[in-house]
Structure 1
Amino acid sequence: MLDATSTATRPDNAPADHPPVKAEKVGILLANLGTPDHYSYWPMRRYLSEFLSDKRVIDYPSWKWQPLLQLIILSKRPFASGEAYKSIWNHDKGESPLMTITKDQTNAMAKAMEEIYGDRVMVDFCMRYGNPSTKSKVEKMIAAGCRKILFVPLYPQYAGATSATANDQFFRVLMDQPWQPAARTIEPYFDHPEYIDALAKSVEDAYAKMEKTPDILVCSYHGMPKRYLMQGDPYHCQCQKTTRLLRERLGWDESQITTTFQSVFGPEEWLRPYTVEHVAELAKQGKKNIAVIAPAFSADCIETLEEINEEIFESFEHAGGEDFTYIPCLNDSDVHISALSSVIRNNLKGWLD
């Protein structure tokens, strides 16, 4: 991370007892969902409790939801989730892949920003749930002299349970600051030309390495209850547009690509079609060779490395599917960093020109 701190000095013409003030910087704070500190029971329970207690994620009344969550769900789910995390854990670094990749993205973005803005910026990252917390990183930026902070949720498509809750937490932290910095949040970038181009290049690169061209590309997005769509959340529409723009950029017809939704949780209906069911149906229809990409995820994580590569793959295989290729997230690839850099630079206009 680029830590553009500087020595604090007393302002010109200030009295001798005036506290020193840091030279002003602009903070660029990347934000992702989060990760447990470890895959063992108690770290998993703490992480899941924070995540599943968020009203943006589960909006049931607390009196109804919390007893179910604390007494039943969290007595069992940490074990199952812990095993899933263990299967993908970066044991060399003692952290989840999401943490490793987010650090790499931040380092790459810091270099890109330093080349453009020099020491006028400070680039760092935080997590909505778990560590490093939004609070710790905002306070670090303010202490370093950041009088302006651009908050960058790493979600291409907006959803209340992702972008909005990250923004909520960011502004909650600012509420406690005696001297608030100016603050901006980025718009979703689901249709940004460079983001679409980065997705397309990742598909083209993956297809070029295959002996047989897949029968269809499945764009699997994280799901949400259908009720949220009916209440006005734009996520579903933005996912559909991302797929359409990707198809147009690739020059494909509609039969070569499809949109699905994964990670269904709870009893109510979620956005359809469900990825785990749809890939099985594709196999039964004779589409024995498929590729899967996850455009809603900026970094590979439990939902891609474990859910897609294991649960969804097994569903396809058990239905008679033969060739299954997962195309990794954009992660810290040059094209991804370039696309994010373009989004960030556009949002810094007026602050850093």
Structure 2
Amino acid sequence: MSRPDRAPSDHPQIATPRIGVLIANLGTPDATDYWSMRRYLSEFLSDKRVIDYPAWKWQPLLQGIILSKRPFTSGANYRLIWNNEANESPMMTITKRQVAALSAEAQRRWGDQVMVDFCMRYGNPSTPDVVERMVKAGCQRIVFLPLYPQYAGATTATANDQFFRALMTQKWQPAARTVPAYFDREDYIDALANSVTQALGGRIPQRLVASYHGMPKRYLMEGDPYHCQCQKTSRLLQARLGWPDGVIDTTFQSVFGTEEWLRPYTVQHVAELAKQGVTDIAVISPAFAADCIETLEEIQGEIREAYEHAGGKDFTYIPCLNDNPDHIAMLANLIGENLSGWI
């Protein structure tokens, strides 16, 4: 902290200028009890980017029936995967490791002039709180990186929205850049392919199911590019692995509500594969940058059970890229490109 040159003695001190890199992920409840889960779910499911029904129609249903019951079931599911030692969700644990690795890489590449931190769209640490912290630390420029390889209004866009709202509260607003989706980057596809090869020991399963988080089909018809970007990621992954056509299937999980979502649904698809005599499948989640409730509980619980109940035998879950060195190197490259002209 110092005063500007030629400033009077009563001028407030100003932090040394730095560049901030703010990593953003979806979020996590603070704990698994009813009220922690209710706060988290209320914030998440009240987001108009996620559920775009009119508030007069949706909020009474959400605050009444849904949030009276769902916090209990969601809390029970989180308890199955909770990191009890750190008293936090696996997503929080993994995100901290990712940021620590990226901070070390940023220090190696750019020294002290770049500060790396993270925020969550829902829950803590909140985007406004972290933006405030970065501004106080001297970040006059911020690169905002939503950890979503494929763009969706309900993920990338709402994270950006919250970042922009946080900037609105700053007296001295930093310059800002948002990082676009990276679903077709060569180094991202390479990292996915390497994770598949390592997890499977080089063998090719009868089927690799690329399971992406779902969304209402209506969003696709209204112009959201998510479905197309997921399909392209799967195609590029197949080409990079050099596998024949028909080995990789693209599916969608985590269906919510009554309207039709993107198909095929993962839980139904793996059961159908088993009924068709497919006895060896692997499942990967290319839309998730860190393992979370949807991968650790839904895929390895509900989806695995559906496959085995229908007669399937070998089920291999391929972890998310997490803090894998290939993933960290790819993200550092992506950050470096978006720092161009600033550093």
- Scaled by the length of structure 2, the TM-score of the pair is 0.99
Partner of 1:245: 236
- Root-mean-square deviation over aligned CA pairs: 0.7
Q: Does 1:191 align with 2:193?
A: no
Task: State how far apart, in whole Å, the 1-side matches of 2:74 and 2:12 are.
Answer: 48
1:40 to 33, 56, 66: 33
Note the alpha carbon deviations across 1:47-96, whole angstroms, 9 max, x for none.
00000000000000000000000010000000000000000000000000
The answer to whether residue 120 in structure 2 is matched with residue 127 in structure 1 is yes
- Residue matched to 2:333: 342
Distance (whole Å) between structure 2 residues aligned to residue 254 and residue 180 of structure 1: 50
Aligned length: 343
Matching residue's letter, 1:256:
V
**1:85 partnered with 2:78:** yes
Match of 1:180 in 2: 173
Give the partner amino acid of 2:181.
P
- Deviant stretches of 4+, over 3 Å: none
Q: Which residue of 1 aligns with 2:98?
A: 105
Name the CA distance, whole Å, in 1 between partners of 2:245 and 2:46. Answer: 39
SS in 2 for 1:17: coil
Distance across 2 between alignment mates of 1:204 and 1:335: 13
Q: Can you give the 5+ residue segments of structure 1 that lack an aligned partner in the other structure? A: 1-7
Aligned-partner Cα distance in 2 for 1:316–1:195: 29
Deviation at 1:209, TM superposition (A): 7.1
2:9 is equivalent to residue 20 of structure 1: no
Residue in structure 1 matched with residue 226 of structure 2 by the alignment? 235
- Superposition pairs for residues 205-244 of structure 1, below 5 Å? 205-208=198-201, 213-244=204-235
Aligned amino acid, residue 67 of structure 1: P
C-alpha separation in 1, matches of 2:4 and 2:170 = 21
CA deviation map 1:31-61 (0-9, x unaligned): 0000000011000000000000000000000
Q: Percent identity?
A: 69
Corresponding position of 1:165: 158
> Which deviations, in whole Å up to 9, do the C-alpha atoms of 1:205-264 show, x marking residues without a partner?
111177xx4211000000000000000000000000000000000001221111000000
| Matching residue within 10, 22, 39 for 2:3 | 10
Q: Partners of 1:176 and 1:338 in 2: how far apart? A: 33
CA shift digits 1:288-307 (9 cap, x unpaired): 11000000000000000000
Q: Secondary structure at the match of 1:329?
A: coil
TM-fit CA distance, 1:161:
0.5
- Counterparts of 1:120 and 1:249, CA distance in 2: 36
3-state SS of 1:50 partner: helix
Match in the other structure for 2:258: 267
Any unmatched runs of 5+ in structure 2?
A: none
Counterparts in 2 of 1:281-300, with a 5 A limit? 281-300=272-291
Q: Whole-Å Cα distance in 1 between the matches of residues 46 and 29 of structure 2?
A: 15
Deviations 1:267-316 (A, max 9, x none): 00000000000000111111111000000000000000000000000110
CA–CA distance in structure 1, aligned partners of residues 265 and 246 of structure 2 = 18
- Structure 1 CA distance for aligned equivalents of residues 27 and 282 of structure 2: 27
Counterpart of 1:123 in 2: which secondary structure?
strand
Distance 1:60 1:214 in 2: 41
- What residue identity is the alignment partner of 1:20? Q
The one-letter code matched in structure 1 to 2:277 is: G
Structure-2 residue corresponding to 1:116 = 109
Q: Secondary structure at the match of 1:254?
A: coil
TM-score with structure 1 length normalisation? 0.96
* Equivalent AA in structure 2 for residue 237 of structure 1: C
**Residues 292-331 of structure 1 aligned to structure 2 (within 5 Å):** 292-331=283-322
Local SS of the residue matching 2:228: helix
Partners of 1:237 and 1:298 in 2: how far apart?
19
Tell me which amino acid in the other structure corresponds to 1:290. I
User: Aligned partners of 1:191, 1:277: CA distance in 2, in Å?
Assistant: 27
* Comparing 16-25 and 241-250, the one that deviates more: 16-25
Deviation at 1:122, TM superposition (A): 0.7
* Counterpart position of 1:5: none
Amino acid in the other structure paired with 2:180: E
